[in-house]
Structure 1
Amino acid sequence: MFLSLVTRVVNDLEQVSLSGRNHGFDFGCFLENVGSLSLAKTESSGSLSSCNVLLAVEPEQAELLDRCCFGKLVLSAEKVKKWIQLSFEEAFYLLYILKCIKLSLRGRCLENEVDTWMYMRSKRPNFPAFFKTYSHLRSKNWVLRSGLQYGVDFVAYRHHPSLVHSEYSVLVQSGDSDRLRVWSDVHCAVRLSGSVAKTLLTLHVSGNSNREDLNLPTCLENYRVEEQTISRWSPELSREDETTSPTPKVTNVSNLKTP
């Protein structure tokens, strides 16, 4: 009864949102709250692997997760249960921020967020910076998916990926990163993003956390995120500029607009 009511409400609000008549309503935030409430009521549980999480849910929750833009459906013959594959960032967001799922490792339920955090860090040392980037953009209602096929870390969508193409290709840079240190790397990243109709967005994640602090997810509070878009300078669009070299143009966007 609860899920059928939620589904009807979500369907109505989706039509309002897509028609452009949302009157300031935060549809993404609403979906996250509804989805987290539904998942929390059924105590959905996921299994950790070395690079992702498999979450077992009922068909109704699988539909809500898709509308909230979390994970990808894994095809199976089961009808009672659906399997959703989540990235580490998505899984930890559902666990730590929305507090709506539980995770287990080799059949043992992880009691708190710290155990999950430590495990994900052990598999991916750069996970804190990547999760900070994910949660930062997600809090601005951007939908993030893996950007592996485009040679970047994430791609960012303004709406659901089934409705629009992604607008930004996202690269994460932290204090110990050597990415985009030379102009040839910048040119390659900009040209690749431009060839697939995306703008390159770099997020510089910095903080003062020591090694001991990194063992706790609370270290995220000490991180600072700086956004920059990098686009290729076009002579045709800037004829008044006497410069003839097509060098990339870097723009600070510390307040990336919420879609």
Structure 2
Amino acid sequence: MSLIKPSGRKGPVSGKNAGRRNNNNQIYAHPLPVVFWYPPATRIRSLLGLLGLTLTKVETPQCHGIFDEATRSVWVESRDDSTILWRRGFFGKGDLSRSEPSWLARQINARRTGGSRLTSEEMTAKRRAERKQFKIDRARAIAAVAAEAEAVFESEGRVVVPALSGPAIPSAATWKPAPAPAPTELPTDTPGTPQDEGPLEEDEEPPEDLEHLQLTLPEAFFLMWNLNCLTVTDPLTNELMTTSQIWLAFQTAHLNPPLFVSPRPVVELQLDNPFIINYIVYHHYRSLGWVVRGGIKFCVDYMLYKRGPVFNHAEFSVVVCPVYEDPADQAASTLDLHHASPFAWSWLSTINRVNTQVYKTLILTYVTIPARARLPLPTADPASLTQLLSSPACLQYYSVREVTVRRFIPARMRD
């Protein structure tokens, strides 16, 4: 069965994996790691509801991660914790996978002789291989038609325009992959052949899982601070970090301090710290119910999903644009923030065209960095600013504005 689909679609793709949608609704039923269990409707429940009481139980998992300062991420090594964080909100990504941590499943599938259901990455690899083979077969067919037209012109002197479509030219709707060739029979007495090894035993031990879930710093802090379902360990002291320690460590990781030094050096915190800017945007959209994923594939900072990547394609692309309230703060800053300076229209047109072609709406999210002069700092000493930024309470001084950019296409928007 071919995975190639006709590309002449008129609008965005609304669903993915339609055949597995019901199964995905059960696997990814919870949008967040925190789960609310509602008791069945009874008279007691109705009576308690009138009194403002409830019997709802809140289940908060306790996942564990290790802070890695070199990669600016938090590693979740437990497979159970990784499954919870991925299936309940699509947090993190497998370090050996494209998104979902499926390295172990791929290794098990590779060791089974009978085959099994393909993982998402194997489906993507198969689809890309088929798309490549389809283009090769189509190019060969067009070249054959052109050669036939040239032969007619040389022999009969008649001009024949080569057709780019027809029964001889495969299309996405008619092309089918060639069947896999039958395995070559080898002598049974040849050493090292599959006949000598025999089929894989069912009770054979599975391979060791070498993959871990990698959380970005905004994801890790959101899980720890807002949902209280993640604890982080300091790799230098092997002790659990407090909220204040995590907040300072995540900011320090973007200031390029010496790595693997205990105790960590005290650095001057700044209002335009990249971790604070990115966390504000991540927290903003997560609090509005969007699933936020990285968008480097489409040259943006974040992608916004309604339910998750297994249900729908992302509808919006987000570019984070820091804006200094006081230009003097930008001149005095030692950090060179991405997109802080005005970008060229050619860059904006390029990014917008890339996202328009994949049916995504580009959003410029402006994060206003507060002016240092209007902050309630007791003195002009840099230590006072560090004290203000030592707590997430400083987020109240930032603001977020959004601008939607749409590419004008005269041929499509004439109606």
TM over 0.5: yes
Deviations along 1:104-126, one digit per CA (max 9) or x if unpaired, are 23242353222212222122331
Q: Are the aligned partners of 1:147 and 1:155 in contact in 2 as well (CA < 8 Å)? A: yes
Q: Are the aligned partners of 2:90 and 2:291 in contact in 1 as well (CA < 8 Å)? A: yes
1:189 pairs, out of 339, 351, 355, with 351
SS at match of 1:45: strand
Q: Are the aligned partners of 1:203 and 1:228 in contact in 2 as well (CA < 8 Å)? A: yes
Higher relative contact order (CA 8 A, sep 6+): 2
Q: Are the aligned partners of 1:47 and 1:55 in contact in 2 as well (CA < 8 Å)? A: no
Which 5+ residue runs of structure 2 have no aligned equivalent? 1-21, 37-57, 96-102, 105-206, 255-272, 325-338, 373-384
Q: CA deviation at 1:78?
A: 4.1
Q: CA deviation at 1:135?
A: 0.7
What are the within-5 Å matches in structure 2 for residues 48-63 of structure 1? 48-50=68-70, 51-59=72-80, 61-63=81-83
TM-score, normalised by the number of residues in structure 2: 0.46
2:232 aligned with 1:103, yes or no? yes
Aligned counterpart, 2:44: none
Aligned counterpart, 2:248: 118
Q: Are the aligned partners of 2:24 and 2:310 in contact in 1 as well (CA < 8 Å)? A: no
1:162 corresponds to which letter in structure 2? V
Partner Cα distance (2:242, 2:412) in 1: 54
Q: CA deviation at 1:237?
A: 4.5
Identity of matched residues, %? 27
Deviations along 1:117-175, one digit per CA (max 9) or x if unpaired, are 22221223311111010011011111111111211111111112122111111111112
SS at match of 2:33: helix
SS at match of 2:77: strand
Q: Are the aligned partners of 2:277 and 2:367 in contact in 1 as well (CA < 8 Å)? A: yes
2:288 pairs, out of 110, 119, 140, with 140
Aligned counterpart, 2:212: 83
| Greater strand fraction, Structure 1 or Structure 2 | 1
Partner Cα distance (1:204, 1:57) in 2: 37
Aligned counterpart, 1:70: 91
Partner Cα distance (1:117, 1:38) in 2: 22
SS at match of 2:65: strand
Partner Cα distance (1:214, 1:114) in 2: 10
Per the alignment, do residues 34 and 12 of structure 1 end up closer, same or farther by CA in structure 2, a change over 3 Å counting? farther
SS at match of 2:389: helix
Q: Are the aligned partners of 1:209 and 1:222 in contact in 2 as well (CA < 8 Å)? A: no
Residue range with higher mean Cα deviation, 199-208 or 125-134: 199-208
Aligned counterpart, 2:35: 34
Aligned counterpart, 2:67: 47
Per the alignment, do residues 198 and 162 of structure 1 end up closer, same or farther by CA in structure 2, a change over 3 Å counting? same
SS at match of 2:213: strand
Q: CA deviation at 1:58?
A: 4.4
Aligned counterpart, 2:303: 155
Residue range with higher mean Cα deviation, 170-179 or 160-169: 170-179
2:291 corresponds to which letter in structure 1? V
SS at match of 1:187: helix
Partner Cα distance (1:34, 1:13) in 2: 17
Tell me how many residue pairs correspond in the alignment. 216
Aligned counterpart, 2:198: none
Q: Are the aligned partners of 1:37 and 1:100 in contact in 2 as well (CA < 8 Å)? A: no
Q: Are the aligned partners of 2:66 and 2:235 in contact in 1 as well (CA < 8 Å)? A: no
Per the alignment, do residues 181 and 147 of structure 1 end up closer, same or farther by CA in structure 2, a change over 3 Å counting? same
Q: CA deviation at 1:206?
A: 1.4
Which 5+ residue runs of structure 1 have no aligned equivalent? 1-10, 19-26, 241-259
Larger Rg: 2
- Calculate the aligned-residue CA RMSD, in Å: 3.1
Q: Are the aligned partners of 1:54 and 1:85 in contact in 2 as well (CA < 8 Å)? A: yes
